[in-house]
């Protein structure tokens, strides 16, 4: 009697999986059925030209997002550019994500790009919200320009908070 725990003999021919089944010969075995159909062929690696195009798009997206962040802190007439830059960043980000998917680029770039697009959407929302307070912001800026003391600056901020509370119907108490 042979040892059942011994490794298989390499000189012995391998058994045919179709021979022991009840189906006719020539049909694929059950182990190969799922792999024959519907399997996607591997994508070719992205070309250097595609990678250059994608990296330029990502850099342009980053510049638009940076411009949105920087212009949101400027005085009121220049703040109008912030939502424009943020919306442009969202559009460029979506187009770049499409290029990344079509090229089959793997890695964290799509995760970072998606995070940047979320940040762009938040910038867009916050800058549009601030622009909805245009008259109150103009008053605040004029008040802060003429405020020479910290107490005067605090009064300007208090007047702005009251204008925001009046505009949105809140009491301004924060709770």
Domain membership flag for residue 6:
no
CA angle in degrees (0–180, nearest 5) for 105-106-110: 85
Domain count, the chain: 1
Q: pLDDT tens digits for 99-141?
A: 999 888 888 999 999 999 999 999 999 999 888 888 888 898 8
Confidence of residue 168 (pLDDT cuts 50, 70, 90): confident
pTM of the predicted structure, to 2 decimals: 0.66
Domain membership flag for residue 132:
yes
User: How many CA atoms lie less than 13 Å away from 90 in the CB half-sphere?
Assistant: 13
Q: Determine the pLDDT at residue 8.
A: 79
Domain membership flag for residue 59:
no
Domain membership flag for residue 62:
no
Domain membership flag for residue 19:
no
Percent of the chain with pLDDT over 90: 39
Domain membership flag for residue 142:
yes
**Residue range(s) defining the domain that contains residue 84:** 79-166
Chain mean position to CA 31: 39
Chain mean position to CA 54: 15
List of residues 6+ apart from 101 with CB closer than 8 A: 110
Domain membership flag for residue 154:
yes
Tokens of 8: 């298989």
Q: pLDDT tens digits for 81-109?
A: 999 999 999 999 999 999 999 888 888 99
Domain membership flag for residue 25:
no
Cβ count within 10 A of residue 163: 17
Tokens of 33: 């059925």
Examine the pLDDT at 11 and tell me if it is beyond 60: yes
Confidence of residue 1 (pLDDT cuts 50, 70, 90): low
Cβ count within 10 A of residue 134: 13
Residue 4: DSSP 8-state: T
Q: What are the Cα distances from residue 153, in Å, to 47, 48, 52?
A: 57, 55, 50
Q: pLDDT tens digits for 39-70?
A: 667 777 888 898 899 999 999 999 999 999 99
Examine the pLDDT at 148 and tell me if it is beyond 80: yes
Q: What is the largest CA-CA distance in the chain?
A: 104
Q: Determine the pLDDT at residue 114.
A: 93
């Amino acid at each position: 009697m042979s040892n059942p725990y011994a490794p298989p003999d390499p000189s012995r021919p391998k058994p045919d999986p179709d021979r022991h089944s009840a189906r006719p010969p020539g049909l694929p075995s059950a182990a190969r059925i799922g792999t024959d159909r519907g399997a996607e062929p591997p994508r070719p690696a992205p070309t250097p030209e595609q990678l250059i195009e994608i990296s330029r798009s990502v850099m342009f997206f980053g510049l638009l997002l940076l411009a949105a962040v920087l212009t949101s802190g400027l005085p009121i007439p220049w703040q109008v550019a912030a939502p424009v830059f943020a919306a442009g960043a969202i559009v460029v980000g979506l187009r770049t994500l499409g290029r990344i998917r079509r090229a089959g680029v793997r890695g964290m770039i799509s995760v970072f790009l998606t995070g940047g697009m979320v940040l762009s959407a938040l910038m867009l929302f916050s800058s549009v919200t601030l622009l909805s307070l245009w008259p109150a912001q103009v008053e605040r800026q004029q008040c802060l320009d003429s405020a020479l003391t910290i107490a005067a600056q605090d009064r300007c901020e208090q007047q702005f908070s009251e204008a925001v509370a009046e505009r949105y119907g809140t009491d301004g108490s924060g709770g």
